[in-house]
Structure 1
Amino acid sequence: MTLQSRNEKRLLMVAASRADECRAGRLFAEDGIEVHFCGNLSQLIQQVELGAAAVLINARIVSADYVRPLLRTLERQPTWSDLPVILVTAEERPGWLNRKPVANVTILRQPVHMETLLSVVRSAITSRLKQYEVRDLLEEQERTQAELRKVDRRKDEFLATLAHELRNPISPIQNALDLLELSQMSLQEETELREIMRRQVKQLTRLVDDLLDVSRITRGRIRLERQTIDLRDAVRAGIEASQPFIDQSDQTLEVDLGAQPLMVKGDATRLAQCVANLLNNAAKYTPAGGRVRVGAEATPGMVVLTVQDNGIGIAADQIDSVFELFRQHDTDRQRGQAGLGIGLTLVQRLLRLHAGTIEVHSDGLGQGSTFTVRLPVAVPCNSTTQDSPSPTSACPSRFRVLVVEDTPAIRTVLQRLLEAIGHEVIIAEDGVQGVEEAMAQKPQVVISDISMPRMNGLQLARRLRRHPAFNETPLIAMTGYGRAEDQAEALEAGFNHHLTKPVDIAELRRVFANLRVVETAVSTPASSDGSKP
């Protein structure tokens, strides 16, 4: 509970005497009411500003002069607020109250029965808490309206930019058509005009495709054609698509993809699209004569791709919003290349579908930008080596598979399915039993659910990865959680693959076809960090 929310449940009281304060303290404490005693009305007014559920005062310590600041405080309340005031008095109604009416005052005539006092205080606090609920609803409504106003402004900006971006390619198309009608041209001139129109039509197509792709991803209707590919091929395809724009911008492109294959599992066309968008973005925000660099390398478990430029850079307060839809950070309209603000959003969402990530770094305006993409490594299955086949790198058609699944029906069907396609299956009903079976049965592959009692699949993967015998054992997550962040979490925990239920048999076959299995030699002693897995 925050200090403010606790203050809002307090009863503020100015007692007539120390004895009254002690009696009231015991009475309210027994009833679970938090009371804050103030020495005088000035202190009480200060506490009201910090939050209160109700105010209890004795008329004996109140005079018209002293009560005026309190009345002014009550008059300044916001529209939702009507702070309950409980006045204990021997009079019928104090004169100062008649001269300055206050709406929410409850008068208790002395002597006051304790149960009556408690009942009135409880009712006042309940009434006040309802007022705070109204306040919270009003504040939430205001926040929602502010966000809607922000979205509305962004929509207007996007529509204006969309109109601008569409007119850019439409204008030369229209002008080229006019020229073809009005003047006699040589074959070379007509060819040049047609090439201009062809380029502009491609630009229009790209704009429309990007918009449709963002919509498809948002609605979950985009499908990836996943294969194990060399990421360098996708990068080269992306470079080929962006090269004309980079050349047109009079920039130098440097490429360093290394000599070794960079194997990932993904949609080659979509990954090339990501690279092209990153290159177009770099070229767009880099002045003529600038430099754009593309690099890729393999790191443990990941392939890392970087796109770096020495362009206009990104301000520190804009870094976090770079990937927001329709957000543009080029405030210099003289550049004339604002874009729709969807390219980087599309890249981020496509990479999430590949269980990948993207981040951006810039030292500030004028310092250029670096976009870093990380994708999980896909280890290709090689049945032979340059020397002779090795049992530790072979790809057998029959695997010893441990299935960890807490739902009996799924566990049984998956066991029979794997056995039907030729594998030996060991089953476990949760993560704890899964670890035990792994130690005893030495599986070549582990398939595990994520959400399970006692020990979930993420914990299971981490426990197995801590044991040196399972450093390279293929771990496959098979779960109903299919969001990009779920896939990333599974891969981070140690899984090599993430399959979403219900798993397609063809997809399962493809996963097994690409596995490189290391024979597991498990002993019961502690793992390398001194703890049992």
Structure 2
Amino acid sequence: MSSTLTSKPPTAAEQRVLILAPTKRDGEISAALLLQEGITADVSTNIDSYVEELRRGAGALVLTEDALFHRNSGPLHVALKQQPAWSELPVIALVRNSSDGSIDRQLKLLGHVTLLERPVLLRTFVSSVQTALWARMRQYQIRDLLVKEREAREEAERTSRLKDEFIATLSHELRTPLSAILGWSQLLGRDLLDEKETREAVSSIERNARAQTQLIEDLLDMSRIISGKMRLDVQTADPTDFIAAAIETVRPAAAAKEIRLHSVLDPNAGPVAGDPNRLQQVIWNLLSNAIKFTPKGGEVKVILRRTNSHLEIAICDTGQGISAQFLPYVFDRFRQADGSTTRRFGGLGLGLAIVKQLVELHGGRVEAQSDGDGRGSVFVISLPITAVHSQLPAVALKTPASPSPRERKAAIHSLDGLKILAVDDEADALAIIERVLVMAGAQVYTSTSANDALVAARKFQPDLMVSDIGMPDVDGYELMQMVRGQGYKFPAIALTAFARSQDRTRSMLAGFVAHIAKPVEPTELIATVAAVAGRV
């Protein structure tokens, strides 16, 4: 009879009746009678073997009067006292004279006892055993509930601990780039830097701002995934395209560590139905991880191949590897192999969780393989070549194509003479929009509210409007309705921190012809304005 609390169906041993009868013949007769009623019983003729069987499990005990007064009954009393908290093993005692006071003293040592005087009717005996077994099954149910409650509590405590660790990590990861941005900004503002240091300061500010942007994107992606609001823009995608794009994005980081980055891509592996931007994000995330955890001079390899009705993408590295203990949890959110304050690698521990969820949204799966610490790792993505249905409603939207790098470069000086109305309630954001567009040759009129924007529209007759969405009193959607309601036909671009796909859809439906998520690259803003204005 184990004291270990485990949730599992009762074993055959735990459902049987154990009979202790000094006379083997008496025990066998009782067991045979119970078997006729579908009850399994095992017989012991001495205390030692009985206690040994008891420790394997029992549904009920049947004892004779002789066993109660056996001089060696101590081990039986000890075994019954050692029952776990949930257990009170039913005992049926068969005695000749129930009024004997010495019997009462012995029964108190046994706990939960049903006393039957001999001779006993067969029906009474069988009924008592059945009742005892029923009571024992209820105890097993209580055991299972206790196990589930304990497991739920442990899981809640683990989740709470992981969240606490995540919040601490998040604070560190956000403060680190902020420290660099704030420090260099203050030095620049005080004119304390020479030309070389100024370039270093600007580079550091940009690098840390991008790092912070990526942290925020990861947080937003995980929020969308948890809330079930992650949307896919499903279309036919060539895997070689989004893989090559991801490789080019991480190539500078690999070169900085002298990591050999190469690929073996089967041009006939695809295409697949999916969101190419999200699939590129998946590959970029895995490649970034591989480069981060691979030492200088190592190797990262990308393999694309077709396997039956699926395509497989494998990202292999010669890096740090994954321990056998952590491997089952590698895709858990908030989990990192090293969550200590002395960890060597930054990050929030969200990247691989996002990868797993995005791959599964595409109907695929991803698995991690590693031979252990220092042995490198392999991440294998499997995607079906069959169609995947989009979660977006079918909405006909006319949006300009994303500007190509060539168009972005050409657009830098293509806004000469263009009259632009810029609307944003945040003064700092409005100032940078104005500065970027003016440097590109545009005439910019600024407004900090929807009402001011309507006045400016009447006064300046702009060619184009760039507007924030989240503004007090009247938001960008309402402003767009008011602009169209007053008969203005100029195109409008939404420049907003509302960056979800459903936000983009809502912007298009409100009348905006383009949607740009903050923070925006100056070249992207100029190129989009130029594309909307027909300047490229």
Report the TM-score range of the alignment, normalised by the length of the smaller protein: 0.5 to 0.7
Q: Which residue in the other structure is 1:319 paired with?
A: 327
Contact 2:165–2:339 at 8 Å: present in 1 too? no
Counterparts in 2 of 1:499 and 1:198: CA distance versus 1, 3 Å = closer
Deviation at 1:186, TM superposition (A): 4.2
The partner residue of 2:283 within 257, 266, 275 is 275
Indicate yes or no: 2:55 matched with 1:49. Answer: yes
Per the alignment, residue 105 of structure 2 pairs with: 98
2:236 paired residue among 191, 216, 228:
228
| 2:464 aligned residue | none
Q: Is the 8 A contact 2:18 2:58 kept in 1?
A: yes
Moved more, 235-244 or 150-159: 235-244
Identify which of 273, 279, 289 aligns with 1:265: 273
- Once residues 307 and 31 of structure 2 are traced to their aligned partners in structure 1, the CA distance between those partners, rounded to angstroms, is 66
Is 1:28 the equivalent of 2:20?
no
- 2:200 maps to a residue whose letter is E
> How big is the shift at 1:328?
1.5
1:346 Cα deviation after fit: 1.0
Higher mean C-alpha deviation, range 7-16 or range 240-249 = 240-249
Distance 1:335 1:19, change over 3 A: closer
Report if aligned partners of 1:328, 1:338 keep a CA contact under 8 Å in 2: no
Residue 101 of structure 1 aligns with an amino acid whose one-letter code is K
Q: Secondary structure at the match of 1:304?
A: strand
SS of aligned partner of 2:332: coil
For 1:72 and 1:301, how far apart are their aligned partners in 2? Answer: 63
Identity %: 35
- How far does residue 162 in structure 1 lie from its aligned partner after superposition? 1.5
SS in structure 1 of the partner of residue 11 of structure 2: helix
Q: 1:249 Cα deviation (Å)?
A: 4.0
C-alpha separation in 2, matches of 1:128 and 1:228: 61
Structure 2 gaps, min length 5: 1-7, 397-536
1:222 positional shift: 1.3
DSSP 3-state at the match of 1:340: coil
* Structure 1 counterpart of 2:129, from 99, 111, 121: 121
Q: Is the 8 A contact 2:269 2:304 kept in 1?
A: no
Contact 1:85 1:105 in 2 (8 A): yes
- Give the 5 Å matches for 1:101-250: 101-102=108-109, 103-186=111-194, 189-250=197-258
Counterpart of 2:209, as a letter, is V
Cα distance in 1, alignment partners of residues 211 and 128 from structure 2? 73
Residue 278 of structure 1 and its aligned partner are, at CA, apart by: 0.9
Q: Determine helix, strand or coil for the equivalent of 2:157.
A: helix
Seen in structure 2, the aligned counterparts of structure 1 residues 255 and 122 have a Cα distance that, compared at 3 Å, is closer
C-alpha separation between the residues in 2 aligned to 1:300 and 1:185?
Answer: 61
Q: Do the aligned partners of residues 372 and 107 (structure 1) sit closer, same or farther apart at CA in structure 2, a change above 3 Å counting? A: closer
Matched residue type, 1:354: H
Distance 1:18 1:376 in 2: 67
Q: Which residue of 2 aligns with 1:355?
A: 363
Read off the aligned partner of 1:56 and give its amino acid letter: V
SS in 2 for 1:8: helix
1:22 offset after TM fit, Å?
4.4
Distance 2:138 2:363 in 1: 46
* 2: CA distance, partners of 1:21 / 1:334: 67
User: Which residue type is aligned with residue 162 of structure 2?
Assistant: R
Give, in whole Å, the separation in 2 of the partners of 1:502 and 1:337: 37
Alignment check: 8 A CA contact 2:293 2:320 kept: yes
Separation of aligned partners in 2, 1:108 and 1:174: 85
Distance across 1 between alignment mates of 2:369 and 2:352: 14
In structure 2, do the counterparts of structure 1 residues 31 and 502 end up closer, same or farther at CA, with 3 Å as the change threshold? farther
The 8 Å contact of residues 330 and 338 in structure 1, kept in 2 or not, is answered as no
- How far off is 1:270 after superposition? 0.7
Summarize the Cα distance change of 1:297–1:110 in structure 2 as closer, same or farther, 3 Å threshold: closer
Q: In 2, are the aligned partners of 1:82 and 1:104 still within 8 Å (CA)?
A: yes
In 1: Cα distance, 2:37 partner to 2:264 partner: 74
Q: Deviations over 1:30-52 (max 9, x none)?
A: 32222211122222211211111
Q: Does 1:497 align with 2:387?
A: yes
State the partner residue of 1:67. 73
C-alpha contact 2:234 2:388 (8 A) present in aligned 1: no
Looking at structure 2, the residues matched to 99 and 254 of structure 1 have their Cα atoms a distance apart, in angstroms, of 81
Q: How many residues align?
A: 387
Q: 2:90 aligns with which of 77, 84, 94?
A: 84
TM-score relative to the length of structure 1: 0.66
- Cα distance change of structure 1 residues 332 and 242 upon mapping to structure 2, 3 Å threshold: farther
Question: Structure 2 counterpart of 1:93, which letter?
Answer: D
Alignment of 1:377-388 (within 5 A): 377=385
Alignment root-mean-square deviation, CA: 2.9
Q: Which amino acid aligns with 1:497?
A: A
Separation in 2 of the partners of 1:500 and 1:125? 55
8 Å contact kept, 1:274–1:350: yes
Pair 1:47–1:259, CA change in 2 (3 A): closer
Report the alpha carbon displacement of residue 374 of structure 1 after superposing the two structures with TM: 2.8
Residue 273 of structure 1, CA deviation? 0.7
Distance 1:303-1:137 versus aligned 2 partners, 3 A rule: closer
CA contact under 8 A between 1:4 and 1:50: conserved in structure 2? no
**Conserved 8 A contact 2:60-2:90:** yes
Whether the 8 Å contact between 2:16 and 2:42 is mirrored in structure 1 is yes
Q: Letter of the aligned partner of 2:309 in structure 1?
A: G
Give the superposition deviation at 1:355. 2.2
Q: Aligned letter for 2:120?
A: V
Matches within 5 A, 1:327-342: 327-330=335-338, 336-342=344-350
Relative to 1, partners in 2 of residues 1:100 and 1:371: Cα closer, same or farther, differing over 3 Å? same
| 1:39 maps to which of 39, 42, 45 | 45
> Taking structure 1 as reference, are residues 33 and 297 closer, same or farther at Cα in structure 2, changes over 3 Å only?
closer
Task: Evaluate the alpha carbon distance shift between residue 332 and residue 60 of structure 1 in structure 2; reply closer, same or farther with a 3 A threshold.
Answer: closer
Task: Tell me, yes or no, if the aligned pair for 1:84 and 1:104 is still in contact at 8 Å.
Answer: yes
DSSP 3-state at the match of 2:108: coil
Q: CA separation in 2, counterparts of 1:162 and 1:227?
A: 34
* Pair 1:165–1:249, CA change in 2 (3 A): farther
- CA distance in 1 between partners of 2:66 and 2:142 (Å): 34
